[in-house]
């Protein structure tokens, strides 16, 4: 086993990996940009190295500096977390060249999945259902038009070289196709450096189901059940849960079996996630394989009891899988709410500022993954994820009730967050019965601009009282020192005035 690991990331996921390492007796090395000197992951790590200025391309993507830090610290392995250098096969190669173990799937496995049309061909050849569409990159408009009319409108245009919603465009008719292909290609080119796109039928309404996989280098592949991630805005997930309320036992068996088969045909190793679209008719289609630790991995950890980060480290160290499929017995239900610094009342636009006060929830069945702290600036440089709030319940209902309770406990002032949306969803009939799809946010929240009014009077009272107390204390700072509460002082002053 490694004695020292470098975590090439920041924020909550760096803290998460440091925790796993510490429990395993592995020393940790953090990296940080000039903007992150005070960040939690720096304070948590045993050692930390400055790797550059705030912009990610100069620091968290600065491979030379990161490999230098690894060498200088004597780290034997690198965990990429998610984002930044995760899912960049060239980085896995560079680690290997530098004599470091990359904690994650091999560069070959990453490459096989990174080129989306090639991955679609691999899966199709293995008899795994894929969304009808092209299995080669589209060369130009005539080809796009031919493919689109073959699969049927509406279609979705996607980047052949990457995911994350970049370049995605839904097209309803041939008239709109030429422009859409051109725009998608240029957007994709600026994001991934190459302009290849492909076309799939746009399946709607659909649910987004993914299966967590673990694979060792001895040909063993197991799954840790599914996660449902249909609650999204801008193709980015807001709520995830396991198990999915959309699957019965039979469908669950078929979808998880398919995921395991996908990992086998791709000769996959370490942890990964197979993503599927589930159509209303019960048909499901392979979308892509995420060759990294997923943001939403804690929901699976909660129901299975498996520590996925530790499993990644064990597997990267060349160990055999410690579990067999029959050892995995998911229990209860878990839900994750992603708390972003975004204003849900204004189209989920980013909200920047400094966290001026924070109180995090705790108690039974509650887990919070965060690197947020009092005084933390939320900047434009990095992802706006403040925290992942995860609850477990013996039933889905209990997990929802716990989430409501935890969201109520979670107080944060300084930036706007997605909490009001989550509080709405946990009360919402459609979510509570599990009958939602990927259009959920659009359908139920839409252009919601109004806050919940029930607590307006309390907020008004509190603000007025604090303003008033401020007046009272300002009027006599000397007297105020002798008393423990502005209100007692205020009362005495009023009494004196009367007598």
Partner 1 sequence: MRYNTDVGERSFEIEIHVDDTGGLWATLDRTPYQIDLQCVDGQRLYSLMVGNHSYELFVDEVDGRYLVSVQGQLYEAAVRDARSSTAKTRATPLVPGTGELPVKAPMPGMVVAVHVAEGDEVVQGTRLVILGAMKMENEIVALRGGTVTKVQVKPGQRVGYGDLLLVIS
Report 403-442 residues binding partner 1 (CB under 8 A): 407-414, 416-417, 419-420, 423
Of the pair 154, 420, the CB lying nearest partner 1 is at: 420
Strand partners, 227: 210
Rounded to the nearest 10 degrees, the angle between the axes of helix 249-265 and helix 116-125 is 110
Shortest Å distance, C-beta 390 to partner 1: 16
By the rule CB under 8 A, 486 interacts with partner 1: yes
Shortest Å distance, C-beta 37 to partner 1: 24
Structure tokens that stand for 440 in this block: 């959920």
By the rule CB under 8 A, 465 interacts with partner 1: yes
Of the pair 97, 499, the CB lying nearest partner 1 is at: 499
Closest CA to 8 of 74, 71, 82, 76: 82
By the rule CB under 8 A, 356 interacts with partner 1: yes
> What is residue 45's three-state secondary structure?
coil
Rounded to the nearest 10 degrees, the angle between the axes of helix 419-427 and helix 396-409 is 150
The DSSP-derived string for 437-452 is: -TTHIIIIITT--PPP
By the rule CB under 8 A, 91 interacts with partner 1: no
By the rule CB under 8 A, 376 interacts with partner 1: no
Of the pair 124, 359, the CB lying nearest partner 1 is at: 359
By the rule CB under 8 A, 352 interacts with partner 1: no
Shortest Å distance, C-beta 340 to partner 1: 14
Residue 3: CB atoms within 10 Å: 11
Closest CA to 418 of 307, 332, 342: 342
Annotated active-site residue in 10, 201, 292, 338: 292
Of the pair 356, 373, the CB lying nearest partner 1 is at: 356
Shortest Å distance, C-beta 70 to partner 1: 41
Of the pair 357, 479, the CB lying nearest partner 1 is at: 357
Applying CB under 8 A, the span of 98-106, 220-228, 319-327, 489-497 interacting with partner 1 comes to 489-497
Closest CA to 156 of 106, 216, 197, 111: 197
How many residues bind to partner 1 according to rule CB under 8 A? 48
* Contacts (Cβ under 8 Å, ≥6 apart) of 274: 210, 211, 213, 258, 259, 262, 263, 286, 289
β-strands 77-79, 4-7 pairing: parallel
By the rule CB under 8 A, 454 interacts with partner 1: yes
Closest CA to 259 of 214, 295, 312, 301: 214
> 274: part of which helix (H) or strand (E)?
strand 270-278
* Contacts (Cβ under 8 Å, ≥6 apart) of 337: 238, 239, 388, 389, 390, 403, 407, 418, 419, 422, 425
Shortest Å distance, C-beta 165 to partner 1: 27
Applying CB under 8 A, the span of 2-10, 35-43, 183-191, 464-472 interacting with partner 1 comes to 464-472
By the rule CB under 8 A, 218 interacts with partner 1: no
By the rule CB under 8 A, 485 interacts with partner 1: yes
By the rule CB under 8 A, 62 interacts with partner 1: no
Structure tokens that stand for 56 in this block: 């990610």
Reply yes or no: is the peptide bond before residue 99 cis, omega within 30 of 0: no
Q: How far apart are CA 370 and CA 387, in angstroms?
A: 4
Closest CA to 287 of 204, 208, 180: 208
By the rule CB under 8 A, 479 interacts with partner 1: no
In the set 346, 462, 475, 479, which binds partner 1 (CB under 8 A)? 462
Closest CA to 263 of 307, 304, 303, 315: 315
In the set 183, 456, 475, 476, which binds partner 1 (CB under 8 A)? 456
By the rule CB under 8 A, 457 interacts with partner 1: yes
292 carries an active-site annotation: yes
**Residue 103, CB-side half-sphere exposure with 13 Å CA sphere:** 28
Of the pair 149, 476, the CB lying nearest partner 1 is at: 476
Of the pair 323, 345, the CB lying nearest partner 1 is at: 345
Of the pair 380, 458, the CB lying nearest partner 1 is at: 458
Catalytic residue list: 292
Interaction site with partner 1 (CB under 8 A): 356-357, 359, 407-414, 416-417, 419-420, 423, 450-471, 485-488, 490-492, 494-495, 498
């Amino acid at each position: 086993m490694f004695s020292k690991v470098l975590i090439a990331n920041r924020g909550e996921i760096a803290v998460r990996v440091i925790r796993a390492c510490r429990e395993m007796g592995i020393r940790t090395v953090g990296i940080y940009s000039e903007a992150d000197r005070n960040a939690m992951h720096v304070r948590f790590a045993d050692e930390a190295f400055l790797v550059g200025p705030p912009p990610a391309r100069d620091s968290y993507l600065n491979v030379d500096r990161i490999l230098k830090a690894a060498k200088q610290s004597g780290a034997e392995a690198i965990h990429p977390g998610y984002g930044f250098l995760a899912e960049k096969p060239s980085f896995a190669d560079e680690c290997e060249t530098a004599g470091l173990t990359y904690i994650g799937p091999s560069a070959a496995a990453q490459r096989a999945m990174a080129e989306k049309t090639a991955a679609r061909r691999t899966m199709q050849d293995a008899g795994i259902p894929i969304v009808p569409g092209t299995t080669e990159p589209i060369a130009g408009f005539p080809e796009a038009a031919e493919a689109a009319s073959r699969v049927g409108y509406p279609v979705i245009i996607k980047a052949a070289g990457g995911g994350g919603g970049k370049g995605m465009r839904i097209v309803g008719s041939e008239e709109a196709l030429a422009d859409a292909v051109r725009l998608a290609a240029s957007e994709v080119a600026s994001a991934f450096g190459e302009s290849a796109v492909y076309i799939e039928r746009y399946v709607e309404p659909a649910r987004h189901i993914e299966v967590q996989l673990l694979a060792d280098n001895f040909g063993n592949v197991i799954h840790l059940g599914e996660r449902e991630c249909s609650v999204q805005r801008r193709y980015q997930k807001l709520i995830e849960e396991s198990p999915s309320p959309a699957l019965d036992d039979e469908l669950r068996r078929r979808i998880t079996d398919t995921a395991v088969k996908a990992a086998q045909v791709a000769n996959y190793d370490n942890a990964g996630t197979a993503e599927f679209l589930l159509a209303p008719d019960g048909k499901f289609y392979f979308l892509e394989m995420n060759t990294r630790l997923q943001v939403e991995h804690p929901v699976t950890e909660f129901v299975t009891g498996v520590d996925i980060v530790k499993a990644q480290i064990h597997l990267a160290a060349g160990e055999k899988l410690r579990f067999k499929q029959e050892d995995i017995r998911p229990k209860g239900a878990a839900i994750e709410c992603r708390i972003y610094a975004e204003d849900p009342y204004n189209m989920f636009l980013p909200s920047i500022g400094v966290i001026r006060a924070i109180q995090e929830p705790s108690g039974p069945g509650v887990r919070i993954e965060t690197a947020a702290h009092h005084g933390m600036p939320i900047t434009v440089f990095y992802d706006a994820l403040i925290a992942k709030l995860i609850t477990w319940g013996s039933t889905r209902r209990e997990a929802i009730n716990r989430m409501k309770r935890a969201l109520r406990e979670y107080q944060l002032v300084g930036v706007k967050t997605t909490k009001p949306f989550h509080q709405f969803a946990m009360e919402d009939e459609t979510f509570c019965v599990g009958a939602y799809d990927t259009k959920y946010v659009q359908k139920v929240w839409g252009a919601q601009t109004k806050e919940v009014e029930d607590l307006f009077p309390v907020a008004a009272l509190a603000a007025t009282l604090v303003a008033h107390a401020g007046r009272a204390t300002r009027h006599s700072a000397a007297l105020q020192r002798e008393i423990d509460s502005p209100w007692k002082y205020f009362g005495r002053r009023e009494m004196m005035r009367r007598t």
